[in-house]
A and B are shown apart, each in its own frame.
Chain A
């Protein structure tokens, strides 16, 4: 402990400790019947070591939410799994904001000198493992506080987001067609990603006329269910010079939470993005208008609209008008969810890390057919819980 502190003091004086992202990798998706959740972690780990040039024995920080599902293995078990000799382990389960949160915290851990190389892994066999479900079986079971104040009324995941959508439509006159544009534009991006689960174009009429699942939202307002895993490595700018990839810079990062259960949301049309977004942009010294591509957590169409408003891409209540001119589409002013997002490509339960990886690939210029020309600044925004905890990263191609 003392050594770590002394190490930190020594290192803080060195400007080369600037934290950067040097490795990103995905495991097989959207369907990987032969990979367990642990297997997704392991495959992503192997791929991130290969693409970055980092050696496993140099990893001294590890962050992961573990595996989820029937047998939950947390960050400590996963550290054992990969035999990582960490000096900082973190598994804060803030849902779909977790990996943005990890990057936010890894910045501090690296800058302070506690760790030099931080690994993050994620993996989920949600689609292929039929024993797994995001929604716990409720019937005939005792439910403890605070879930006992909601579960007995039969809320559903989509229904919980529908509560926000209904309120947004009531307060601002937002239409189903405007929400549908988010599903349509994301599907157009998915067509450029050969791995995306759903690539056939859809129309606004398709989305609006799809069966309602929880009014006002329907089947095509919802994300897909897939398998998938991911890994990310951050280290110092000094270390990055010896590695394979051009480093991507973390210009701003912030996390905020308003509630966890949907019944506790203070304002159904305002998320914590309104806190973490402006904070991250202020650190970065840029504004939403400067952003070349946005990778937001698109669990449902309404999620994206609320994140766009909260982050400051448009005013509160103006999300409908903001998206309806096709701005989020390929070639639009703000290409968003360029890999096809959770709505069309990959959503194994926690989408956050994939938004971060797509942002990095865009900034590296490695996004292939879906590359946004000359992308220099990107936002990756994770939403955890039910619009509950929002973590925002502003990432850049060039050294600040």
Chain B
């Protein structure tokens, strides 16, 4: 049995670092505070991810809202080989998953903190944050089983 641990998120130097710009700064500022922020369409009240300067539903205005940070695994893959990327190859096997957030949006992330065999579609997960650049203070959301 292979244990996935939060160490995956701990070994972060070397990961690609998100470029923080005017469109996504509230998202990454939230991550640095330990909060998950996404956007909501002002007109329809529907949520969207990833951050964009306009609504995907109407093209109109969006506002930022804080998420509960709870989700469900929608689908996932256990990545066993990643030759082109020595950093990730060293982490194999690891889980890339699509997470359904309670708010109704999806995002890609890694699921950690449990046995590989225990990762299942429908599994309840909660968000935590890992630092990918000390210098830039950039944090990413990761997910682990609830409780």
At the interface, yes or no: B77 with Cβ under 8 Å from chain A?
A: yes
Q: Within 8 Å CB of B51, what residues of A?
A: 145
In the bound complex, CA of A262 to CA of B140 (Å): 18
In the bound complex, CA of A216 to CA of B75 (Å): 11
Q: B15 and A163: CB pair below 8 A?
A: no
Q: Within 8 Å CB of B110, what residues of A?
A: 153-154
Q: Within 8 Å CB of A155, what residues of B?
A: 79, 96, 108
What is the total number of residues of chain A having a CB less than 8 Å from a CB of chain B?
40
Give residues of chain A (107-135) contacting chain B, Cβ–Cβ below 8 Å: 133, 135
Distance in angstroms from B46 CB to nearest chain A CB is 13
Q: A153 and B108: CB pair below 8 A?
A: yes
In the bound complex, CA of A27 to CA of B49 (Å): 43
In the bound complex, CA of A365 to CA of B125 (Å): 56
Give residues of chain A (225-262) contacting chain B, Cβ–Cβ below 8 Å: 262
Contact of B75 among A153, A156, A170 (CB under 8 A): A170
- In chain B, what residue has the closest Cβ to A148? B18
Q: Within 8 Å CB of A160, what residues of B?
A: 77
Contact string against B for A residues 256-292, beta-carbon threshold 8 Å, 1 for contact and 0 otherwise: 0000001110001000000000000000000000000
What is the total number of residues of chain B having a CB less than 8 Å from a CB of chain A?
38
- In chain A, what residue has the closest Cβ to B82? A156
Q: Within 8 Å CB of A170, what residues of B?
A: 75, 121
Q: A145 and B19: CB pair below 8 A?
A: yes
- In chain B, what residue has the closest Cβ to A269? B75
Give residues of chain B (59-115) contacting chain A, Cβ–Cβ below 8 Å: 74-82, 84-88, 91, 94, 96, 98, 106-110
Q: Within 8 Å CB of A53, what residues of B?
A: none
Contact string against B for A residues 135-175, beta-carbon threshold 8 Å, 1 for contact and 0 otherwise: 10111111111101111111110011011101100100000
Contact of B77 among A133, A138, A145, A159 (CB under 8 A): A159
Q: Chain A interface mostly helix, strand, loop or mixed?
A: mixed
In the bound complex, CA of A156 to CA of B77 (Å): 10
Distance in angstroms from B7 CB to nearest chain A CB is 14
Q: B75 and A164: CB pair below 8 A?
A: yes
Distance in angstroms from B23 CB to nearest chain A CB is 6
Contact of B18 among A142, A154, A159, A164 (CB under 8 A): A142
Distance in angstroms from B91 CB to nearest chain A CB is 7
Contact of B108 among A137, A143, A149, A217 (CB under 8 A): A149
Contact of B96 among A144, A148, A159 (CB under 8 A): A159
At the interface, yes or no: B24 with Cβ under 8 Å from chain A?
A: yes
Which of A207-215, A327-335, A350-358 lies at the binding interface? A207-215
Known contacts A154-B88, A264-B50; can you find 8 more A-B pairs with CB under 8 A? A137-B84, A139-B14, A143-B19, A146-B50, A159-B79, A163-B77, A211-B81, A215-B78
Point out residues on A near B: beta carbons under 8 Å.
133, 135, 137-146, 148-156, 159-160, 162-164, 166-167, 170, 211-217, 262-264, 268
8 tightest A-B CB contacts, nearest first: A148-B18, A162-B77, A154-B88, A215-B78, A263-B108, A139-B87, A167-B75, A138-B16
Q: What are 26 A-B interface contacts by the 8 Å CB criterion?
A: A135-B84, A137-B84, A138-B85, A139-B14, A139-B88, A142-B17, A143-B17, A145-B24, A146-B50, A148-B24, A152-B15, A152-B140, A153-B108, A154-B85, A154-B91, A155-B108, A156-B96, A160-B77, A166-B76, A170-B121, A212-B80, A214-B77, A214-B81, A215-B80, A264-B106, A268-B75
